[in-house]
Structure formats: structure tokens, C-alpha cells
Amino acid sequence: MKSLSLVVILLALGIVQANKVPEIYAGQSRSASSIIVDALEAIKVQMVEGWPQYGIPPLAPLEIHHKDFNYETGEMHANGALDDVIVSGLNEFEIVKMSVNLPLSRITMEFNFASLNLTTKYKADVGAGWQMARDGGAFLALEDLNISGQIRYSTGLVGSNNYLRIKGIQLQIVVGNVVSNIENLSKYRIVNRKLNEIIEEFINLTINDNVDFVTEWIDSTVTPACNNLIGDRTLKDIIDLIGGGGGNLI
Ligand SMILES: *[C@@H]1O[C@H](CO)[C@@H](O)[C@H](O)[C@H]1NC(C)=O
Ligand SMILES: *[C@@H]1O[C@H](CO)[C@@H](O)[C@H](O)[C@H]1NC(C)=O
Ligand SMILES: *[C@@H]1O[C@H](CO)[C@@H](O)[C@H](O)[C@H]1NC(C)=O
Ligand SMILES: *[C@@H]1O[C@H](CO)[C@@H](O)[C@H](O)[C@H]1NC(C)=O
């Protein structure tokens, strides 16, 4: 997920840059914004197959055969495994807003995911002074998920090379509804439903009540990761990279 967003952001910036000069000076009719929208639409389609040349697997749906987990927080522990994980909806987003301000080097955007959901089989061993082993099927969904925000970047000339740096990423994430349907948390249906409601509320609050924290976390982790990825590459290198391996991206 993280490497995907990096690719998307780099791609967007590369495309904006590639088109900046003609955009302003030759009065190309297509705006930078619509070029990014077109690229994102192409990315949605490509997500079905992934980008094997960059080691990115199919993302729509994303399938993970097996994943072990092991959490320890104080007294509480939870460990186990997920099998046959399927994540759906990564490519089912609507671009509500995409606006590039070239003079201010700023991209403002808003995306809406109708349903981002996960089905899996789980096995878990949970405890806090007591022990509980559970297994079964699980379904989790984030519905009406909105991601909106801004990317600020800078460009310029060093020697004869263009350079590109991400100055900041401010993304706000809000979820409209959370669905949790995990089997066998309790053998009593009504208790099972209640436990799922607690999980729904927990996820909802974690996302919606921590908007500032999530925004800060994304900015402080993704911004340097993007800049590391760009490294000493010039703009031309990045555009060649996108053009060279991207196949039918644009
Ligand atoms: C899961 O997400 C996909 C893609 O958004 C959607 O088509 C599907 O209806 C969702 N599944 C459920 C059970 O909500
Ligand atoms: C998400 O955005 C859409 C479209 O802008 C809006 O109609 C909806 O109310 C928003 N949902 C949430 C949970 O903020
Ligand atoms: C888990 O729940 C499903 C459906 O509620 C049931 O068929 C199955 O027997 C349960 N498995 C265990 C190990 O309790
Ligand atoms: C989700 O959280 C928001 C903000 O804290 C709250 O207004 C809303 O009622 C919650 N929704 C559900 C379904 O719990």
C-alpha cells in the first residue's frame, strides 16, 4: 500500500513536470490536472495486473496467501495467522477533486472509496492473563472512505538538472461506516454481534477521532520516503523510469 502510494505520487509529479513547460508556455489545452486524472484512471485499470516489473503484484483484488501476526501490548497478546486474505476495492475509487496549481507547486485532491473491504480466514490466540483460541471467517469493510488533502512539492534547477522534492503531504482520512463481521469470537450469536459492534466502533473512532494524528503520521513517514525514493535522480531519470517501465500507463 505504501509503495503503491509512492508510485502514484511520483507518477503524478513526473507527469506534471513533464508537462509544465508546454503547459504554461505553449498553452497546451489539456491541463495538468486532467493529465493526472487520466493517469490515475489508467492506474486503476493496471492495478488488476499490477506492475510485475517493479515487483508490485495485482492490487485489484490484492490477494495474500498467508500472513502471521503477533501483537504484544503490555498484558495483552494476540498472535495467529490470516489465510486467503482478499482486499477488494483498491481500484474502486472516484476522483472527486484533482486540482494542480503549478505556480504554487501544489496538488489538491479528494478521493472517495465506496467500499474498501477484506475477507480472510483467521486463527488467533488471544489473552491477557487468560487464554482464548479462535478461528473462522472474517469480513471487514471501510465504507464511504474519503481521502482528501494536498501535496506540496518544489522543483528547480541544480546545475543543468531539474530536481524534485516533496515538501509536505497533508491527507485527511474520514470513514462513513465500518462493517465488521468476524465469526466465532463467541459461540453465542448475540455476543458475537456485540463484539463486532465494539470492533466497528473502535475502528471508526481510531480513524475519525485521530484525523490530525493520521495526517501527521502520513506526512512524517511518506514525505521522507518519497524523497528517499527520488534520491539523486533528476526529473529526467524519473520520467524515463515511468515511461520506460510503465508500459500502457499513459
Ligand atoms: C467489497 O468492495 C468491492 C469494491 O468496492 C465491492 O464491489 C463489494 O460490493 C464489497 N463487498 C461487500 C460485501 O460489501
Ligand atoms: C465523502 O465525500 C462525499 C463526496 O464528496 C460526501 O458526499 C460524503 O458525505 C463524504 N463522506 C464522509 C464520511 O465524510
Ligand atoms: C465458526 O463459525 C461458523 C459459522 O458461524 C461455523 O460454521 C463454524 O463451525 C465455527 N467454527 C468453529 C471452530 O467454531
Ligand atoms: C463514527 O465516528 C464519528 C466521529 O467520531 C461519529 O460521529 C459517528 O457517529 C461514528 N459512526 C458510527 C457508525 O459509529
Give a yes or no: residue 247 inside a domain.
no
- Confidence category of residue 94, pLDDT binned at 50, 70, 90: very high
What is the count of structural domains for the chain?
Answer: 1
Q: Is the dihedral of CA 59, 62, 66, 69 positive or negative?
A: positive
Give a yes or no: residue 250 inside a domain.
no
Give a yes or no: residue 111 inside a domain.
yes
- Confidence category of residue 245, pLDDT binned at 50, 70, 90: very low
- Asked if residue 36 lies in contact with residue 15, where contact means CB atoms within 8 angstroms, the answer is yes
- Average pLDDT over the chain, rounded to an integer: 82
Q: How many angstroms separate the Cα of 93 from the Cα of each of 25, 143, 203?
A: 33, 11, 20
Please tell me if the CB atom of residue 76 comes closer than 6 angstroms to any atom of ligand 2.
no
Q: Which of 12-21, 33-42, 105-114, 212-221 has the lowest mean pLDDT?
A: 12-21
Rounded Cα–Cα distance for residues 103 and 154 (Å): 10
Rounded Cα–Cα distance for residues 174 and 106 (Å): 22
Answer yes or no: is pLDDT of 126 > 60. yes
Residue 179's domain is classified under what CATH number?
3.15.10
Give a yes or no: residue 249 inside a domain.
no
Please tell me if the CB atom of residue 197 comes closer than 6 angstroms to any atom of ligand 4.
no
Q: What is the pLDDT of residue 1?
A: 45
Q: Which residue's alpha carbon is nearest to atom 5 within ligand 2?
A: 96
Q: Is the pTM of this model over 0.85?
A: no
Counting ligand 3 atoms within 8 A of each CB, the residue from 183, 186, 195 with the most, and so the one to mutate, is 183
182: containing domain: 2-242
Selection from 145, 48, 142, 141 nearest residue 93 by Cα: 145
- Asked if residue 15 lies in contact with residue 86, where contact means CB atoms within 8 angstroms, the answer is no
Answer yes or no: is pLDDT of 78 > 80. yes
Give a yes or no: residue 119 inside a domain.
yes
